[in-house]
Amino acid sequence: MKSNDLFRASGIMALGTIISRITGFIRGILIVAVLGTTLLADTYNVANTMPNILYNLLVGGALTAIFIPQLVRSFDHEDGGDGFASRLVTTISLILLVLVVIGVYCAPALVRLYAPEFFTAGFETEKEIAIAFTRYCLPQIFFLGVFTMLGQVANARGSFGPLMWAPIANNLVGIALFGAFLIFSPSVTTNTITPLQVQVLGWGTTFSVVVQALVLIPVIRHLGIRLKPQWGLSGLGKSFGLAGWTLLYVLISQLGYLVTVNVATSAAVRSAQEGIARGVGYTPYTYAYFVMLLPYSIVTISIITAILPHLSRLAVAKENAEVRIQLIRAIKLVGVITVPSAVAFFLFGPLITQVIFVGIPAEDSRYIGYVLSALSFGLVAFSINLILIRGFNAFEDTRTQVISIFIINLISVVLSYVFLHFLKVQWVTIGLGLAFSISYVVGLLITLSLLKKHTGQIKVMDFFGQHLRLFAAAFGVMTPLYVLMRYITWLGVELSPLARAGELLLVMVMAFLGYLLAGKAVGVEEISMIRQLRDSVVRRSSRPE
């Protein structure tokens, strides 16, 4: 893939992701304003996260990791791959429907699995609300599958934008839902929320996912892809064989996340028992993680989605050395954004979240910022690891990467329980952020060593020098700004929400411009990627797809 093609494809996806994340932020702010960050919010977030967990656990990982290479190969079939795509969509849809039925029936057991302390004495209301939310949200599994399948078919045909733009429709429905709820029911708690309100929030959230899936149907038709119900597994045997290892990979990952949810909800219940009013459980972790993923989503996902079909073709052609070059190039390009973002989250996490989450007490929003600062350590390693995993996928090696994710999650699980037992309850969720970061930093070294069987050795030094210069540029520019901000706080100056937003805007603008100059000064060639990506977004957005 040529540089211009990569930037063009990445640019349109980045633009879609930026708008998606902006609308997602608005939706998140409204959710926090409606539900807060305490146990009511945890009941909703655990339930709303569960469809994603179960979907990724049983199907989603295989769809995104395995079937793009298989779809690319199916283009050589007489029907242009329509038959393979139709059988895939039909088979996966049936699996998802069965999964939804089983999940709705087993909702109490699922809640007990992910939030066992909701079943302790004195928290019966939270338990019932969580079970109800879970039943209303679980049908999302089917529509998440439809969305992903249609999106991957479009990606395999070279249409990357729609998969990034469709979530905007999801967010707009969510904004309307929670915006209206905030107007008509501005203050609800676990004791005051009614069954009808739970239904409105639960079914409304599921409806937003339905809309996200349906908007891709016209895109598939426009591409000339003819999908129809087609029974049978002909041609899918290899795909499902490869998917077995991917499912194991996702299973390990989701078991690790299960521990995160368990520990976070345990911290929330224990803090409530100790009379701590501040939300310190799963919800602060969820929204800190959401903020942390912003640069990762805009740049990392855009670039790797654009290059994965290209990597698959290179792997098929046995151009292994070129795959290695493309992976290193992607790591360096992504680092231009993720490195300064990590530094900004580390230094300015509480300021960022205080500005974003204005509908809750300042103490609660600052706490989300502390979790964000803990997560920041892992952002760069997390992004690199994802790029390397796509290298495994290009070679259709789903077995070896299981070793990496197992070690990553083992470290995270051990640290999570250590922090639960040894930290004060109000610091446990921050500890979860630190566990995430440590696990991915260590896991990166493991993944690098495992990938060399396909690409030859990719050394840390192949990109470490460039990343070190990026860190030096980012810290060099942002540290003085941080010291100045802390000095203003030390003087006891209380800023209004509007003034605080202005402070953050000024800090970010100065940090961004200073970073560009410092990056060029220390010789980082990839810094020009920002300008190229911006230009490609402007050009692409000014004309039809």
Residue 67 makes CB contacts below 8 A (sequence gap 6+) with: 88, 152, 239
Q: How far apart are the first and last CA of the chain?
A: 19
CB environment 354-373: b (16+ within 10 A), e (fewer): bbbbbbbeeebbbbbbbbbb
Predicted confidence (pLDDT) per residue in 355-369, tens digit: 888 778 888 889 999
Average pLDDT, the chain: 80
- Per DSSP, which regions of 285-327 are E strands? none
Q: By CB neighbour count within 10 A (0-12 exposed, 13-18 middle, 19+ buried), where does 218 fall?
A: exposed
185-194 pLDDT, tens digit per residue, is 877 888 889 9
Amino acid 544: pLDDT: 43
pLDDT of residue 414: 95
Q: Which two tokens stand for residue 489?
A: 């706080």
**Closest Cα partner for 45 from 134, 169, 140?**
134
The arithmetic mean of pLDDT across residues 182-207, rounded, is 89
What are 56's two structure tokens? 């990724």
Tell me which of 159-168, 359-368, 386-395 is least confident.
159-168
Mean pLDDT to the nearest integer, 89-113:
87
Find the Cα–Cα–Cα–Cα dihedral 389, 392, 396, 400, rounded to 10°. Answer: -100
CA torsion, points 315, 318, 320, 322, in degrees to nearest 10? -80
CA distances from 389 to 220, 257, 371, 454 (A): 28, 18, 26, 12
How confident is the model at residue 71, as a pLDDT?
A: 61
Contact 447, 389 (CB under 8 A): yes
- What is the predicted pLDDT for the residue at 44? 93
pLDDT of residue 285: 93
- Tens-digit pLDDT profile for residues 467-502: 888 899 999 999 999 998 888 777 666 677 788 888
